[in-house]
């Protein structure tokens, strides 16, 4: 089956002015730098990384919510990076987004019905009984009471607001939904409800997700495959099981080792040999040469400082960009 989405060489640079008043210079902040990624129909691709790694920017680039500096995105057989404004607007039916902040994601002056119905109206439906029925079905689908219809966002809790945002994203029956940290702003006891809801809706509607998050546990739970980003690059992509059981990139290893334990008996204090990493993430304004992780990597070698590692295959569907990896022999 062909991929639902295929990105190649996707790049987003932001111009940033640096320096003082007299000596201005422009620098490029490389938020996303030459990313290749595919999303298969029906899967959930988890996208993890620390703040500032560009995962949220990548999510928006993939559905062209922001224009790319370079590279292209094929979505459902169509190159969306070169679509004109009108064709793009029509194409948006098939790709939607769910946001992190349940407070900022809803217009405070629009009722729940207006909010959920808006995408339909944008795409030519009339504000009639059919549209209202569609809203009713969506309310039911996301687990909100019919009485929520005429209420306003401020009357709802964070979890309920997230349900409204999901209903708005799904009313057009999209193929791909970018979920940008959809549960990280919610209370712990409410997160599971939303994760379960997203899973149920995926089964029911045959959705494909790009699930962006920094919580490795949630990503592990919901994803089919997982991509790990560091400083604007995808450093490892693999099947979920393979990635969590056999992380190849030292950064992925460090991420997994940093997750707090689930039981006090597993405390690692004093244990030696854990690939814990030190130091902070370098700035994307001047990313390190060679492998971008070399400044923090416990296994750094001279070649890492000069040569950027290419993505190498190691096992079925498992790729990582690290000089340590011996690629599978060509078949």
Partner 1 sequence: MSLLDVRDLTTSFQTGGGEVTAIENVSFSLEKGEILGIVGESGSGKSVTALAIMGLLPRPPARVLGGSVRFEGQDLLTLSDRSMQRLRGPGIAMVFQEPMTSLNPVFTIGEQIMETIRAHESLSQKDSFARAVEMLEKVGIPAATTRMSDYPHQLSGGQRQRVMLAIALVCRPRLLIADEPTTALDVTIQAQILELLMDLRDEFGMAIIMITHNMGVIAETADRVLVMYAGRVVEQAPVGRLFDHPLHPYTRGLLSCVPTLDQDQDRLIAIPGSLPEPSRRPSGCRFSARCVHAIPACSDVIPPLEIFEQSHAAACIRVGDFA
Partner 2 sequence: MTEPKRASPFRATMRRLLHHRLFVLGCVLFGLILLVAIFAPLIAPVDPNKLSMRMKFRPPGADFIFGTDNFGRSLWSRVVWGAQLSMFIGGAVVAINAVLGTAIGAAAGYFRRLDNALMRINDALMAFPAVLLAIGVTAVLGPSVNDVIIALAIVYTPRTARIVRSSVIVLREMEYVQAALAAGAGHWRILRRHILPNAMAPLIVQLSFLFAYAVLTEATLSFLGVGAVPPTPTWGNIMAEGRQYMTDAPWIITIPGAALMITVLGLNLLGDGLRDVLDPRLRIQQ
Q: Select from 20, 25, 26, 51 the one that contacts partner 1 (CB under 8 A).
A: 51
Residues 6+ apart with CB under 8 A from 29: 13, 14, 15, 16, 284, 285
Per-residue binding letters, 196-215, with partner 1 (x by CB under 8 A): x--x--------------x-
302 lies in the binding site for partner 2 (CB under 8 A): no
SS3 content of the chain, % helix, strand, coil (to 5): 35, 20, 45
293 binds partner 2 (CB under 8 A): no
Element (H, E) at 59: helix 55-62
102 contributes a contact to partner 1 by CB under 8 A: no
Question: Any contact of residue 67 with partner 2 (CB under 8 A)?
Answer: no
97 and 61 in contact (C-beta within 8 Å)?
no
**By CB under 8 A, is residue 252 in contact with partner 1?**
no
Say if CB 202 and CB 179 are below 8 A apart.
no
Residue 269 binds which entry of partner 2, partner 1, none, with Cβ cut-offs from 5 to 8 Å by kind? Answer: partner 1
Q: How far apart are CA 266 and CA 112, in angstroms?
A: 46
Pick from 69, 78, 86: nearest CA to 2: 78
Question: If binding is defined by CB under 8 A, does position 239 make contact with partner 1?
Answer: no
Q: Which is nearer to partner 2, 90 or 286 (CB)?
A: 90
What DSSP string describes 143-193? T--GGGGG--GGGS-HHHHHHHHHHHHHTT--SEEEEESSSTTS-HHHHHH
Angle at 50 between CA 258 and CA 180, to 5 degrees: 120
Instruction: Choose among partner 1, partner 2, none what residue 18 binds, the Cβ cut-off being 5 to 8 Å by kind.
Output: none
Per DSSP, the three-state class of 102 is coil
Distance from C-alpha of 197 to C-alpha of 141, rounded to nearest angstrom? 9
Of residues 135-194, those binding partner 2 (CB under 8 A): 150-152, 154-155, 165, 168-169, 172
Q: Output the smallest distance, CB 162 to partner 1, in A.
A: 11
Does 152 participate in binding partner 1 (rule CB under 8 A)?
Answer: no
Q: How far is the CB of 72 from partner 2 (least distance, A)?
A: 19
Sites for partner 1 among residues 254-283 (CB under 8 A): 254-267, 269, 276-278, 280-281
Residues at the contact surface with partner 2, assessed by CB under 8 A: 60, 63, 65, 88-90, 92-93, 95-97, 99-101, 104-111, 115, 118-119, 122-123, 150-152, 154-155, 165, 168-169, 172
């Amino acid at each position: 089956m062909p991929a639902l989405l295929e990105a190649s060489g996707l790049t987003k640079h932001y111009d940033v002015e640096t320096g003082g008043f007299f000596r201005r210079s422009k620098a490029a902040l490389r938020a996303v730098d030459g990313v290749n990624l595919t999303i298969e129909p029906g899967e959930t691709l988890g996208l993890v990384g620390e703040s500032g790694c560009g995962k949220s920017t990548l999510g928006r680039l993939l559905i062209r919510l922001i224009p790319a500096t370079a590279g292209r995105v094929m979505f459902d057989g169509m190159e969306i990076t070169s679509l004109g404004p009108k064709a793009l607007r029509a194409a948006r039916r098939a790709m939607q987004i769910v946001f992190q902040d349940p407070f900022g994601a809803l217009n405070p002056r629009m009722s729940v019905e207006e909010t959920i119905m808006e995408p339909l109206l944008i795409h030519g439906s009339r504000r009639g009984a059919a549209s209202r029925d569609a809203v009713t079905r969506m309310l039911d689908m996301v687990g909100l009471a019919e009485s929520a219809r005429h209420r306003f966002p401020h009357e709802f809790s964070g979890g309920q607001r997230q349900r409204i945002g999901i209903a708005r994203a799904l009313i057009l029956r999209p193929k791909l939904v970018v979920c940008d940290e959809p549960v990280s702003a919610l209370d712990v006891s409410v997160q599971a409800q939303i994760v379960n809801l997203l899973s149920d809706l995926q089964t029911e509607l045959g959705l494909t997700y790009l699930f962006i998050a920094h919580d490795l546990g949630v990503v592990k739970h919901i994803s089919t495959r997982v991509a790990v980003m560091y400083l604007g690059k995808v450093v490892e992509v693999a099947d979920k099981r393979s990635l969590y059981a056999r992380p190849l990139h030292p950064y992925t290893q460090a991420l997994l080792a940093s997750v707090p334990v689930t039981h006090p008996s597993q405390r690692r204090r004093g244990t030696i040999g854990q690939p814990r990493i030190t130091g902070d993430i370098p700035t994307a304004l001047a990313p390190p040469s060679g492998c971008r992780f070399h400044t923090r990597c416990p296994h750094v070698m001279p070649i890492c400082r000069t040569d950027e590692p290419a993505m190498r295959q190691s096992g079925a569907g498992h790729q990582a960009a690290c000089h340590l990896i011996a690629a599978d022999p060509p078949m």
